Amino acid sequence: MRTRQRLSLLTVAAMIGVTGCSQGTESTESTAEQNVAATTSCAANGELTMWERSGGNKDMVDMLVAAWNTKNPDCKIALTYIPHTEMVGKIAQGIASGQVPDLMGMDLIYAPQFEKAGQLVDLTDRIRAWPELATASSGHMTVATYDQRLYGVPLYADVSALFYNKDLFKKAGLDPAKPPASLSELRSYADRITALGGDVKGYYLPGNCAGCNIFTVGPLMWASGAKIEAAGPGDEPLVGDGVKQVLQFERDMVKAGNVHDGDRTENGETFHLQFGSGKVGMMGTGNFNITLARQQNPGMDFGIALLPGVAPNSSASFIGGDLVVVPKGSKRVNDAVNFMKFLLSDDVQVEVYAKALNLTTRSDMVDNKYFQAEPLVQDVAKALTVGRTPYTLTFFEQINSPQGPWLKMLQRAYYSDDDLDTVIADAKKEMKEIAAKS
């Protein structure tokens, strides 16, 4: 969620919808080829091509591909990174022309659009019986499914959680073993940390980043019983008292001086660097910040808790990350499926994901020797149990667009005195209009 897609997905949808009838992109595999049992090795010899977006978890993807290449020297993967802002358009153009990679990583939030357009290979008959899928990240598998058909598996997972600076907690007279379990506690703790003075603030709020806010403020609404996006035509967005309650909470945080003035211009470019500065008491961010914060500030003591809601002990998280999918036109579907099997294998989950202190993409792999030695990873992994991923064909237009109704609503709530009921009603109207066109 750190860098966001700026290409209009409605334009891309039109492109792939038109090209979806192209016969040149259809799979030519026989039924026998489709029924080959998956392994974690080569199905055929020869180099495989893979595209992945920039701006994601590059280090993790590099390690996964390197592990596959070490195990399978006869079918190594040649990995190419595509600028994140160009990825969706390049995929659509490649499918239209038949110039596609054998497999690719895809920001999970955009998968439903390509699934609906028929531009990904339906893998249901190949993978639905895999026992590993029973514990695969639920957020990933939700968006990997369209019309009860499966199109991919998790490549890596990002989850949001509440990071808190234990050093500042101690200075403010707070118990570092007791993070806030409700929004009222979060506000109270922020007030006390801000009161320390200097350049320290109790809270961080990215004021100009739609993606950062759905990743960190969205869960506060979910934990408070709210629904945010419209799933499709006729569906009602911004439902529940939690929407207004959270907007009021954030407005009050800003007015109380609990956030730095510069937070208002944060567009996501430096979002991941804020907590490690040591000047923020509490911040919604992602599992990627464990390593980053330690690199930035090795002496800082910090903890991780779930993002809370209005009611005590309520919580939620945004599950983000990427899927591995196969574009229509791939000539190496069996090898692509074998790579998916490889990713979900016990050994790779523990000896690649967990060893690198990245989240495993299977919940039954969380209890491993590497996480046991690193309590913070265990803490952030708890977010997988309360996490969700929005499912809509217009996620960019409704939520992630810098000009979209989600960010406009948040900025009016944070930085103006506009009536919140009016602010919500305006955003609701625009979201419904967008969803009606999907």
DSSP 236: P
C-beta neighbour count of 105 within 10 angstroms: 27
Q: How far apart are CA 6 and CA 91, in angstroms?
A: 15
Neighbours of 58 (CB within 10 A): 14
Contact 114, 396 (CB under 8 A): no
pLDDT at position 294 is 92
pLDDT (average), residues 415-434 = 98
Q: Which two tokens stand for residue 410?
A: 């948040």
For Cα atoms 252, 253, 256, give the angle at the middle one, nearest 5 degrees. 80
Structure tokens at 336: 């692509």
CA 160 to chain centre: 8
Indicate the helix (H) or strand (E) that contains 124.
helix 124-127
Instruction: Domain 48-158+320-387: give its CATH code.
Output: 3.40.190.10
The one-character DSSP state at 2 is -
Q: Give pLDDT, residue 84.
A: 74
Task: Give CA–CA dist 113/178, Å, rounded.
Answer: 42
* Burial zone of 232 (CB within 10 Å; 0-12 exposed, 13-18 middle, 19+ buried): middle
pLDDT digits (tens, 9 = 90+) for 281-314: 999 999 989 988 999 999 999 999 999 999 999 9
Element at 171 (helix H, strand E): helix 166-171
Structural domain spans, the chain = 48-158+320-387, 160-317+389-436
Share of the chain above pLDDT 70, in %: 92
CA nearest neighbour of 152 among 182, 126, 191, 187: 126
Whole-number Å distance between alpha carbons of 17 and 15: 5
Fold of 160-317+389-436: D-Maltodextrin-Binding Protein; domain 2 (3.40.190)
pLDDT at 138 (0 to 100): 86
Structure tokens at 101: 């990679």
The string of pLDDT tens digits covering residues 152-209 is 999 999 999 999 999 999 999 999 999 999 999 999 999 999 999 999 999 999 999 9
Q: Place 59 in a pLDDT band, splitting at 50, 70 and 90.
A: confident
Does the pLDDT of residue 419 top 90, yes or no?
yes
- Confidence at residue 92, expressed as pLDDT on a 0 to 100 scale: 82
Reply yes or no on whether the pLDDT at 28 is more than 80: no
* Long-range CB pairs of 419-426, under 8 A, 24+ apart, other chains included: 420/244, 420/247, 420/248, 420/251, 421/244, 423/247, 424/238, 424/243, 424/244, 424/247
